[in-house]
Structure 1
Amino acid sequence: MPGRTETSPPLSGGRLRDIRLSRGLTQEGLAERAGLSLGVVKKVERGGSARLETYHALARALGVRTSALFDPSGPHATRRDDRDKLDLMPLRQAIAPPMSLSGRFVSGNTVEPEPDLRGLRRTAAALASSYYGDDYAALAGLLPALVRSARTAVDHFDGGPQRAEALRIRADVLQMAGRYLTQVRAYDLAHIALRDAVTDAVTAADRAAAASAVYLQGWTLIRQGRLDETEQLAVATADDIEPRISRATRVELGVWGRLLVRGSSAAARNNRPDAAREMLRLARTAGSALGAGTAAHPYGWGKFNWSTVALQAVENHVVGRRPDRVLGLSTRLAASTVTMTSNTWHRHRLDVAQAHAMLGQGRQATDVLAQIHDEAPEWLRHQQLAGSVFQEALRSSGRSLTRQQRELAAFFGVA
């Protein structure tokens, strides 16, 4: 469950206004029904941006899919993305090199040694650990060379098991790159990496790796607000790879369950709660089949077990603005013995902070955010939603800021 949607897909103020008027609602009436301020409704109708959670609240109040509000005409020319602040040139050159008239990629004058597939696999595994350790500096520094080396290995071997292994390695490396790029909001480059990862895995006849890359594509698409496509892609792929439960391997159960969880996430955000619940019901089948075990794929979808489904249910309750259920389920999860990756736990704690903020419990929300900051500051730095939750928490925390709140305000850049 690697993420939530924190960016703003283009939205047409005129489209929102037309739907509102067709429902016989004033701006004040829509704001009240959606649980938003009048200022937010006015801002969005003027063409201003907002979080996807805000769009979902509007869609829920109007009884339409969230995607029905999005503007298909294209992005705003003056809106810039955070990726402009990042030095991604080496990774961009490695993932999307130019192509010459011969149909071959032009990758500069770098001289690569004879490919060492075992060494490449060891390096890829070590770099996967860097992602889970929130060491984004290591990822940014080492991924370009690893992508180039994997490309060289594929080009070097003409066929046989060595070429198949080189393709599998490159697919895994590109999945890591796509996951990192999605985390830092370089979505177009992430999409290129993940599309190529699917191609490599399919060529190597590795359906599980291909499905894993599809799962990560879903994260990128959700971050872009492409909810219909995400759900369709996840459901279609899950149907294609649905295992026979009694004979399935852990990896087969894990990737199938992960795809269903991804589809549920998209459906919940797209104001399709019944579809979201049905996909989680199917995903629980995979979790139950694993029993107390855990499926893992370090390069793509990470880990999957029964708690993955439970955590997505919590997130769907956040999207549906049911904070009491969020806190109730979180208490039950905290009392369980299941182990999670640090990223998964911190994402869940961010849900808990948002639930407290929704209930006007600003101090409790701040305490949770402070705990996440102490444990994973680099991860938190890339979570735009965290800053929004903190601002919401401040509004219900009283007039004077505590030392803890002042430190978080400086971290999030909140005046």
Structure 2
Amino acid sequence: MKKLERGGTARLDTYHALARALGARTSALLDSAAPHATTRRDDDNIDLMPLRQAIAPPVTFTGRLIGTVATEPDLDRLRSTAAEVGTAYHRDHYGYVAEFLPALVHAAHAAVAHFDNGVEQTEAIRIRSDVLQMAGRYLTQIRAYDLAHTALRDAIGDAVRVDDMGGVAAAVYQQGWLLMRQGRLDEAEQVSVATADVVEPRISRATKRTLGAWGKLLVHGSATAARNNRPGQAREILRLGRTAGAALGGGQAVAVSSWGRFDWRTVAFQGIENQLVADRPDRVLRLSERMPAAVDAKGRVFMRRHLLDVAQAHLLMRAPDEATSILWSLMGETPEWLRHQRMAADTFHAVLRKSKRRRMTSRERELAAFFGSR
């Protein structure tokens, strides 16, 4: 509180805790410092140069500066390459994604520029929308938020241009997570709910992909409302999300390049996360015990974010060893993903602060080396 009173800033969950106490929206408390108050470094400009050149090329009076291709683009190959990069992202091969994504974006731009009209141009635009969504998701993961916003804005424009409402829903879903990470809670909820209203399908005729995109939008809208201290609205939005999950039955919808996977468990896990946001860790643990193991048919963890919620709940319930055990398992299963999760690092460092042991265990030492000391 003293830090905030002196003009400083805090984490979003701190603002949310204050909002609960004051009975206000979290967004009403967000008052950031002036942009010039912090000295900014140019390191990320160099590291992200290839992606910046691909996603935000220079513009002249004739439009973007995009290179031409000597031969007609192979759309089938471009589509399959995009699928390979999307699969690499979901398998946490971020180095592969960073290496191939700039060239893929350039190729997608060139394909759209090559075809003047017709079915080929429509398909090229659709592929570019998927590629830009993938770029936006990766950039959000590594916290390059402004560049991610550019990619997702253009992805939405492409999807609208070819009347691909599933693509619109997917890109808006990605944009919603980006806005939430930036603390733009009101806008994140608004775009998610408004788009969900537009793309709401007829359940009897909807495809799995359409149900998945609609359901993910609703899940995100609920997540944002919960963080914005609007628990009633969060519950109502999630109720609609259960409709999409129920329509899939025991099946699931998958969109590799954008929103990932969706089924009834996605809705259930979001309900559990909302309990953590509301500072009810006992409910988190109780509800989690009723859920099936968060692994796919091959034994791979797929609801990793949920496991971080469970670890945080254990910490809040004064069971730091259980929290450490979850983090240890995630480090072994999916280290590249875990490395970018600030919540995981915060949970671990809180475990160390609350530990009554004078010396760290071997697991704690390895986790400390993984997350870095503070």
TM-score range, shorter chain: over 0.9
In structure 2, distance between residues paired with 1:142 and 1:260: 32
Aligned position for 1:166: 124
In structure 1, distance between residues paired with 2:278 and 2:200: 28
In structure 2, distance between residues paired with 1:83 and 1:349: 32
1:349-388 deviation per Cα after TM superposition (whole angstroms, max 9, x unaligned): 1111111111121111111111111111111111111111
Aligned position for 2:50: 90
SS at match of 1:237: helix
Aligned position for 1:352: 310
Map 1:112-123 onto structure 2 (within 5 A): 113-123=71-81
Alignment partner for residue 319 of structure 2, among 333, 357, 361? Answer: 361
1:1-43 deviation per Cα after TM superposition (whole angstroms, max 9, x unaligned): xxxxxxxxxxxxxxxxxxxxxxxxxxxxxxxxxxxxxxxx222
Q: Do the aligned residues in 2 keep the contact of 1:253 with 1:295 (CA within 8 Å)? A: yes
Aligned position for 2:197: 239
In structure 1, distance between residues paired with 2:45 and 2:114: 36
Q: Are 2:242 and 1:284 equivalent residues in the alignment?
A: yes
1:308-355 deviation per Cα after TM superposition (whole angstroms, max 9, x unaligned): 001111111111111111112222113588769957422111111111
Q: Do the aligned residues in 2 keep the contact of 1:318 with 1:326 (CA within 8 Å)? A: yes
RMSD: 2.1
Aligned position for 1:53: 13
In structure 2, distance between residues paired with 1:275 and 1:133: 34
Which 5+ residue runs of structure 2 have no aligned equivalent?
Answer: none
Q: Do the aligned residues in 1 keep the contact of 2:301 with 2:333 (CA within 8 Å)? A: no
User: Match of 2:373, as an amino acid?
Assistant: V
In structure 1, distance between residues paired with 2:155 and 2:3: 40
User: Match of 2:212, as an amino acid?
Assistant: G
In structure 2, distance between residues paired with 1:356 and 1:145: 44
SS at match of 1:114: coil
Q: Do the aligned residues in 2 keep the contact of 1:356 with 1:364 (CA within 8 Å)? A: yes
Q: 1:332 to 1:79 in 2, by over 3 A?
A: farther
User: Match of 1:84, as an amino acid?
Assistant: D
In structure 1, distance between residues paired with 2:353 and 2:361: 13
Aligned position for 2:101: 143
**TM-score normalised by length of structure 1:** 0.86
Aligned position for 1:293: 251
Aligned position for 2:214: 256
Q: 1:255 to 1:92 in 2, by over 3 A?
A: same
In structure 2, distance between residues paired with 1:326 and 1:201: 37
Structure with greater contact order relative to length (CA < 8 Å, sep ≥ 6) = 1
In structure 2, distance between residues paired with 1:340 and 1:395: 36
Q: Are 2:369 and 1:410 equivalent residues in the alignment?
A: yes
Q: Do the aligned residues in 2 keep the contact of 1:154 with 1:167 (CA within 8 Å)? A: yes
Aligned position for 1:182: 140
**TM-score normalised by length of structure 2:** 0.95
User: Match of 1:412, as an amino acid?
Assistant: F
Aligned position for 1:197: 155
* Number of residue pairs matched by the alignment: 373
Alignment partner for residue 334 of structure 2, among 376, 379, 391? Answer: 376
Q: Are 2:260 and 1:302 equivalent residues in the alignment?
A: yes
Q: Do the aligned residues in 2 keep the contact of 1:112 with 1:149 (CA within 8 Å)? A: no
Q: Do the aligned residues in 1 keep the contact of 2:128 with 2:158 (CA within 8 Å)? A: yes
Aligned position for 1:99: 59
Q: Are 2:35 and 1:75 equivalent residues in the alignment?
A: yes
Segment of structure 1 superposing worse, 62-71 or 336-345: 336-345
Q: 1:55 to 1:344 in 2, by over 3 A?
A: farther
Segment of structure 1 superposing worse, 161-170 or 337-346: 337-346
In structure 2, distance between residues paired with 1:344 and 1:298: 13
SS at match of 1:303: strand
User: Match of 1:71, as an amino acid?
Assistant: D
In structure 2, distance between residues paired with 1:57 and 1:159: 53
Aligned position for 1:16: none
Segment of structure 1 superposing worse, 366-375 or 341-350: 341-350
Q: 1:330 to 1:85 in 2, by over 3 A?
A: farther
Q: Do the aligned residues in 2 keep the contact of 1:83 with 1:184 (CA within 8 Å)? A: no
Identical pairs, percent = 60
1:39-98 deviation per Cα after TM superposition (whole angstroms, max 9, x unaligned): xx2222223332211110111011110000011675353164898387111001000000
SS at match of 1:333: coil
